[in-house]
Amino acid sequence: MELHGKNLIGYRVSAEGSASISAFNPALSAPLTPAFYEATSSEIAAAGDLAAAAAESFRDRPAADAAAFLDRIAEELSALGDPLLDRFTAETGLPRERAAGELARTTGQLRMFASLAREGSWVDARIDHALPDRKPLPKPDLRRMLVPLGPVAVFGASNFPLAFSVAGGDTASAFAARNPVVCKAHPAHPGTSEMAARAILAAARACSLPDGVFSLIHGADPAVSLALVRHPAIRAVGFTGSLRAGRALFDAASQRPDPIFVYAEMGSVNPIFILPGALAERSDAIADGLRQSVNASTGQMCTCPGLVFASAAAPFAARLRDLFRQSTPATMLHPGILRSYESGLARLQSVSGVASTASTLDPDSARTQARPTLLEAGLDEFLAHPELGEEVFGPSTLLVHCDSPAGFEAAARRLEGSLTATIHGTPADLESHRSLVSLLAARAGRILFNGFPTGVEVCPSMNHGGPYPATTDSKFTSVGTAAILRFARPVCFQNFPQSALPVELRDGNPAQIWRTVDGRFTHEE
């Protein structure tokens, strides 16, 4: 596939603005061609207007049509093969194995949402039949279900060019609920984004879906993102990225004449608590696993463990220091992320009482490499300096020496909202630190026992969310089938004739879905 660098406004290719966005190979410090066109205000408006028109017909299509569309997108993406993987690795510096794994994850979640749409019970249909003879007042016939919300704006993530970007989970869940999508490509991987977008549009044509069911715009200027969020047709936003950018989108959406919600996943420190029994049993294994988790993808995962609290940690700390000294510098996604990583490290290293152990191998600046670094502090320093609890995006972690249940609890109370929290321990540890689990459940969306947070399984029971600042709404997930609930809303139909009801709410259950009928959850007619 030869890239053209233009915006895709529905089925139309458009290049009204300047070709001012250039991708960059961070492993080679070399620019990539072609240049990509920044979307103009008229192109953004056209994409939003087309999405609004498409929403009127897409929402009335059978659920099977959305399922077929998602399956076809997976086929089109897979068919791109080596050229897609080559562009992915060139734009990110990530290894080819990671690119292939992420493509498999992306096509897998597209098919997962296709199955969800095809089965149909996600609409949460509820029926209460009329009781005309009820006294003192008759009861009306009431039927409620979730319906499509409307056009969704999706923002590509820098660290997952496929799984959290153009054809990622936000787009898949929006399509499964039969909503059009307008996606803004991340400027760090515009080529990968164009290839994925063209696969989506090929699938839309093959499925005879309306023009405007999907559009892709490019933009490095924040004004492009804000204009998209402010378009009156947009009903919700899916975002994965930094706290600063996510909050800017959230604020813009809140200030619209008709406020909408931004479902922003903004990363977190993902604290790990290592209790005494676990250290006594397997200190070296925990240290090895922690080093691998911190350095996975050069620390550029939203679930990277950035804080570790350990009890009786002297041998454990010594082992960790050795492992970080031996760690190999690796390429970050682009120079801007590397600069942010280095400035974040410097900020924490400047705090009194913080010690630092870094890789003894020098990073290659020509390959945009970051140096893995272990920071250490005592509990008193951590409690006295709130900045030590802030995320540093990259291959580093802060080990806090913490030697009592009361100390662990004090640390947990200081934590901000996080995507994950982890406990390494034994059954006896959990008994003696019982309140720690409750404290962490109030601050994280996923709690792990004897594991590491990197690696998010894509399945119905996964929750990838958490209290602010990890996300803007802790009630929702951006991974797993429950992600569809962000892009739907309930509607109740009162006293409607059968012929005018959605098929999911009709007597006889023609859709063959699970429903709550007169208070009973049933698959029966």
Count of domains forming the chain = 2
From the candidates 102, 265, 391, 504, give the one annotated as an active-site residue: 265
Instruction: Say yes or no: 424 and 438 in one domain.
Output: yes
Find the distance separating the first CA and the last CA of the chain, reported in whole Å.
50
Instruction: Say yes or no: 261 and 307 in one domain.
Output: no
Closest CA to 484 of 82, 124, 233, 213: 124
**Which residues span the domain enclosing 312?**
272-449
For residue 140, is the peptide bond before it cis, meaning its omega torsion is within 30 degrees of 0? no
Query: Quick one: pLDDT band at residue 503, thresholds 50, 70, 90?
Result: very high
Helices and strands: H and E segment counts in the chain: 14, 23
Percent of the chain with pLDDT over 90: 98
Instruction: Say yes or no: 233 and 360 in one domain.
Output: no
Read off the pLDDT of residues 107-122 as tens digits, 9 standing for 90 and up: 999 999 999 999 999 9
Instruction: Say yes or no: 314 and 237 in one domain.
Output: no
**Strand, helix or coil at 130?**
coil
- C-alpha distances in angstroms, 207 versus 51, 69, 71, 247, 391? 17, 6, 10, 36, 43
Domain annotation covers residue 22: no
Distance of CA 348 to the CA centre of its chain: 27
Q: For residues 71-83, give the mean pLDDT.
A: 98
Domain annotation covers residue 467: no
pLDDT of residue 456: 95
pLDDT reading at 266 higher than 90: yes
Identify the CATH number of the domain in which residue 246 sits: 3.40.605.10
Q: Which residues contact 120 (CB under 8 A, 6 or more apart)?
A: 63, 504, 511, 512, 513
Domain annotation covers residue 522: no
pLDDT of residue 314: 87
Instruction: Say yes or no: 252 and 347 in one domain.
Output: no
pLDDT of residue 379: 96
pLDDT of residue 313: 76
> Where does residue 465 rank: exposed (0-12), middle (13-18), buried (19+ CB within 10 A)?
buried
Domain annotation covers residue 454: no
Instruction: Say yes or no: 139 and 206 in one domain.
Output: yes
Question: How would you list the strands of the sheet with 236-240, edge to edge?
Answer: 12-14, 7-9, 214-217, 181-184, 152-155, 236-240, 261-265
Domain annotation covers residue 471: no
Read off the pLDDT of residues 305-336 as tens digits, 9 standing for 90 and up: 999 999 877 899 999 999 999 999 999 999 99
pLDDT of residue 403: 83
Instruction: Say yes or no: 294 and 438 in one domain.
Output: yes
Q: Are the CB atoms for 158 and 241 separated by under 8 Å?
A: yes
Identify the CATH number of the domain in which residue 383 sits: 3.40.309.10
Query: Quick one: pLDDT band at residue 509, thresholds 50, 70, 90?
Result: very high
166: left (phi over 0), alpha (psi -120 to 50) or beta: alpha
Structure tokens, 268: 């977190």
Decide if 76 is catalytic. Answer: no
Decide if 281 is catalytic. Answer: no
Instruction: Say yes or no: 158 and 182 in one domain.
Output: yes
From the candidates 302, 376, 391, 402, give the one annotated as an active-site residue: 302
Instruction: Say yes or no: 167 and 258 in one domain.
Output: yes
pLDDT of residue 462: 98
Read off the pLDDT of residues 25-37 as tens digits, 9 standing for 90 and up: 999 999 999 999 9
> What's the whole-model pTM score?
0.97
pLDDT reading at 525 higher than 80: no
Instruction: Say yes or no: 329 and 441 in one domain.
Output: yes
Positions of E strands within 390-522: 396-401, 418-424, 444-449, 488-494, 515-517, 520-522
d(CA 177, CA 123): 9
pLDDT of residue 42: 98
Domain annotation covers residue 418: yes
Q: Are the CB atoms for 487 and 128 separated by under 8 Å?
A: no
Last residue of a domain, one of 432, 449, 466: 449
Instruction: Say yes or no: 252 and 306 in one domain.
Output: no
The alpha helices in 218-373, defined as continuous H runs, are 222-230, 243-254, 276-295, 314-326, 335-349
Domain annotation covers residue 464: no
Instruction: Say yes or no: 207 and 62 in one domain.
Output: yes
